[in-house]
Amino acid sequence: MIYQNPVFIPGPTNIPEVVRKASDMPTLDHRSSAFADILHPARDGVKAVLKSADAEVFLFPSTGTGGWETAISNTLSAGDTVLAARNGMFSHRWIDMCQRHGLNVEIIETPWGDAIPVEKFADALAADTSHKIKAVLATHNETATGVKSDIAGVRAAMDASNHPALLMVDGVSSIGSMDFRMDEWGVDVAVTGSQKGFMLPAGLAIVGVGPKALAAMATATLPRTFFDLKDMRTGYAANGFPYTPPVGLLNGLKLTSQMLLDEGLENVFARHHRIAEGVRAAVQGWGMSVCANQPEAYSDTVTAIRTPEGFDATALVTHAADTYQMAFGVGLGEVAGKVFRIGHLGVLSDAQALSGIATAEMAMVDLGLPIQFGSGVAAAQAVYAAGNKSAKMAAE
């Protein structure tokens, strides 16, 4: 096994060497001031990445899924109605979690490959004159299909009928990689994890909670213990956790949030966009298409690529792993076997992206797809060369 190749799964993402070092530290007393110097900068860094002045940031030893549970259990009560679109595996799982918590989910079934149908949300909200809907759930970036949704549009749909529901956003595969504006978009709860845009190992749920959602804690009766925001808040006020914190990961988050801010969030987003454009050019060069149905829904963090009818896309992923020691993402749920995914988020350069594109190309040729060597690579090279030329000119 070769461990030098970057991974092209859409999380967990590649971990920069400096981050590995920052996360690997001797035990320190998590009740000492040394821990406060990790905890508070990490929370402040995340808050800046979320572009929020008002939100409180909560960090749990968990993953993005625990972030979903934090969002719903602290703000809702059994029997409450929430509105959500199901357009991929991750939105499906969040809906499933809500149902298991005794929430009534008004589901807008949406073709996999489509973005959240904002007009249908607007209609559902306008029809809800008694304000039964307590929360609107939106998956910003459907990682299963490589589909980005318009969160500002969802907020506008809510505002159009003056709907008081909370807006909860799954930003697990967008925050820290794609444009995300918690305050400007009126996001009440933003959820992510450590192992995607934040370039860390899995192990943290990262949750931004706005004032309106914090106020909802007072009346929300869903059971919560481990994910109780009130307990966590009390812990933070005393520079600690209500239980043992994962100190190394938090130290890593202190570093990676600062790395993103130092690179400049707009530069981070532009880099992801350029890399994604190269991948999409390669897909076109191969004569294939992406799973996302509308260009405005193209994700800058993951591309799901439809393989020809009768071809097993999962076998391609297995072949690339076994033959070239390179990891791509399999299709999930409804698109299992029909797509493979190239994850391109986190720490990634144009050159690394080219290695992934070239390897995917080899694996497809190996398995008999009618693709010319270099067809995808050349298309991506053109994008990256042009992108870097214009960046250099802008800097001069």
Ligand X SMILES: *Cc1c(COP(=O)(O)O)cnc(C)c1O
Closer CB to ligand X, 98 or 379, in the complex: 98
Closer CB to ligand X, 137 or 371, in the complex: 137
Question: Residue 273's CB: how many other CB atoms inside 10 A?
Answer: 17
CA distance 249 to 193: 11
Closer CB to ligand X, 137 or 383, in the complex: 137
Nearest distance, CB of residue 34 and ligand X, angstroms: 28
Scanning 241-374, the segments in alpha helix (DSSP H) are: 247-263, 265-285, 313-324, 350-366
Is residue 268 within 8 Å of 176, Cβ to Cβ? yes
Nearest distance, CB of residue 64 and ligand X, angstroms: 3
Which spans of this chain sit near ligand X (rule: CB under 6 A)? 11, 63-65, 90, 139, 141, 143, 170, 172-173, 193, 202
Closer CB to ligand X, 11 or 285, in the complex: 11
Residue 93 has which token pair? 């799982």
Closer CB to ligand X, 92 or 155, in the complex: 92
Nearest distance, CB of residue 343 and ligand X, angstroms: 9
Question: DSSP letter at 260?
Answer: H
CB-nearest residue to ligand X: 64
Nearest distance, CB of residue 145 and ligand X, angstroms: 10
Closer CB to ligand X, 202 or 288, in the complex: 202
* Residues in a beta bridge with 81: 104, 133
Nearest distance, CB of residue 174 and ligand X, angstroms: 8
Please name the residues in contact with 396: beta carbons below 8 A apart, sequence gap of 6 or more. Answer: none
CA distance 366 to 126: 53
Please name the residues in contact with 192: beta carbons below 8 A apart, sequence gap of 6 or more. Answer: 64, 67, 171, 172, 174, 175, 176, 198, 205, 206, 207
Nearest distance, CB of residue 195 and ligand X, angstroms: 6
**Dihedral sign from CA coordinates of 172, 178, 182, 187:** negative
Residue 295, classified by CB atoms within 10 Å of its CB into exposed (0-12), middle (13-18) or buried (19+), is exposed
Residue 346 has which token pair? 């986190």
Residue 284, classified by CB atoms within 10 Å of its CB into exposed (0-12), middle (13-18) or buried (19+), is middle
Closer CB to ligand X, 193 or 245, in the complex: 193
Nearest distance, CB of residue 262 and ligand X, angstroms: 25
Closer CB to ligand X, 175 or 255, in the complex: 175
